[in-house]
Amino acid sequence: MNVYFDNAATTRPFDEVIEQLSKFLLDIYGNPSSLHRLGVEAERSLKEAKEAIAKKLGSNADEIYFTSGGTEANNLALIGCAFAYQKRGKRIVSTPVEHPSVISTLEYLERNGFEIQYVPVDAEGNVDFDQFEKLVDQNTILVSVMLVNNETGHIFDVKKLSEIAKKKNPNVIVHTDAVQAFMKEKTNVKELNVDLMSISGHKIHALKGIGALYIRKGINIQPIIFGGQQQKGIRPGTENMPGIFSFAKAIEVYEKLKASEPDKLRNIKQRFIEGLSAVDSVVINSPLDKTSDAILNVSFLGIKSEVFLHTLEGYGIFASSGSACSSKGRTYNKVLHSMGKGREIAESSIRFSFSYLNQIEEVDYTLECIEKALRFLRKIKK
């Protein structure tokens, strides 16, 4: 049996996406900027996809801008906003547990004269609200806090953080990386009171290479790519229509699956946690509450993550040691380290992440294999 529990890294495209993609490629291959019929058909599909995403975000379709993925969306949000509003101030407030595409971008901005302040998080991943309020001042132009952490699944109270920030400085712009949250958690931009939101298609069974950035009307964003006037010049370049189609189709299929089995991901995670309770020297870093149902981070003490991952792979089980964007060359989980977890916990953590294509039987098989793998690895360590 093969079990794919690495859905936070990427997902297998839905069958419906694959089946209908070839027809889309053959029938709607025009450039949406072209004035002829094929171009008009492509433009219609582009608008329909924006409307599908806008409906899920509670925004207007003209506030959605397609990108090559979550990384570009985060780069465009942070760099584009920082340079557009640098005359107001130079301070940006974030957290040390953001995705590498945010952390690396903030480091770039710091090298270019911006002041980056990171608000600490506690052992559960919660932001220190008092410290956050102190860091937001009149020189702060941007706050960036993710909605769901990609490694632990912790759900941040972005709504409260936005309220605190905007009360302290009404001109502050709030961005949230919702790549791991989209379609799984509430992502209504008005309810969350955010100005910018990044999402990605391949986390919800669309193709890789497609993402989107919500930009609230009235917010200025300087482009970081230059070319034509596609998407109002904010993100120029011929649109990735196959990716855009797959994004809209994946939303449609995902909604149906979620409606038919609304508690599926929670049941899978709960079964996993219950099974692990009988295993020795295990630390659950993603409890059932206050974290995404789609992510379970576990530390198997005494066993290095990489060793355990390869052992599980021998049983046909595929998981990860954290973000696929930063896993190579890394010796321990920096997110857990930032949460104050000990080095042993950080070095032995495994992330299991679930989708609606997973089945409860896969959990039982994985638990059996985990016990076998642990017995083997701990035996040879003695």
Q: pLDDT, tens digit, for every residue of 333-350? A: 889 989 988 899 999 999
Domain ends where: 256, 279, 313? 256
Instruction: State the pLDDT at residue 112.
Output: 97
Same domain, residue pair 74 and 102: yes
223 and 315 together in one domain? no
Residue 95 near residue 118 (C-beta atoms within 8 A): yes
> Looking at residue 196, which CATH number applies to its domain?
3.40.640.10
pLDDT at 23: 87
- The reported pLDDT for the residue numbered 90 is 97
Q: Which amino acid does the sequence have at 197?
A: M
Listed as own residue / partner, the contacts of 129-134 with beta carbons closer than 8 Å and 24 or more positions apart are 129/160, 129/161, 129/164, 132/93, 132/161, 132/164, 132/165, 133/164, 133/168
- 22 and 170 assigned to the same domain: yes
Same domain flag for 222 and 344: no
Same domain, 172 and 53: yes
DSSP label at residue 29: -
Mean pLDDT, the chain, whole residue set: 94
Other beta carbons within 10 Å of 31: 15
Report the alpha-carbon distance of residue 28 to residue 310 in Å, rounded: 43
**CB-count exposure of residue 296 (10 Å: 0-12, 13-18, 19+):** buried
**Domain total of the chain:** 2
Please tell me the pTM assigned to this model. 0.95
- Residue 332's pLDDT band, with cuts at 50, 70 and 90, is low
Q: Say what the pLDDT of residue 157 is.
A: 97
pLDDT over 70 at 329, yes or no: no
Q: At 314, which CATH number?
A: 3.90.1150.10
Q: Quick one: average pLDDT of 265-284?
A: 96
Q: What does the pLDDT read at residue 342?
A: 87
Joined together, the tokens standing for residue 177 give 């990386």
Do 238 and 294 sit in the same domain of this protein?
no
- 274 plus 242 within the same structural domain: no
Q: For 232, which DSSP code? A: G
| Residues 270, 212 within the same domain | no
At 377 the pLDDT is 85
Has residue 365 got a pLDDT over 90? yes
Please tell me whether residues 133 and 214 are part of one structural domain.
Answer: yes
**256, 281, 312 — which closes off a domain?**
256
Predicted confidence at residue 274, as pLDDT, reads 97
Q: Token digits for 378?
A: 């701990």
pLDDT digits (tens, 9 = 90+) for 28-50: 999 999 999 989 999 999 999 99
Instruction: Find the helix packing angle between 264-276 and 360-381, rounded to 10°.
Output: 30
User: Is 60 exceeded by the pLDDT of residue 330?
Assistant: no
Is residue 189 domain-shared with residue 160, that is, in the same domain?
Answer: yes
Same domain, 222 and 341: no
Q: 230-271 pLDDT, tens per residue?
A: 999 999 999 999 999 999 999 999 999 999 999 999 999 999
Residue that is last in its domain, among 256, 278, 300: 256
At residue 145, the pLDDT reads: 98
Task: Name the residues annotated as catalytic.
Answer: 325
Asked whether residue 113 falls in the same domain as residue 241, the answer is yes
- What domain range is 182 assigned to? 15-256
Per-residue pLDDT, 44? 95
Give mean pLDDT, residues 87-102.
97
Q: Is 288 exposed, middle or buried (0-12, 13-18, 19+ CB in 10 A)?
A: middle
Q: What percent of the chain has pLDDT over 70?
A: 97
Is 191 in a helix, a strand, or coil?
A: helix
Q: Confidence class of residue 106 from pLDDT cuts 50, 70 and 90? A: very high
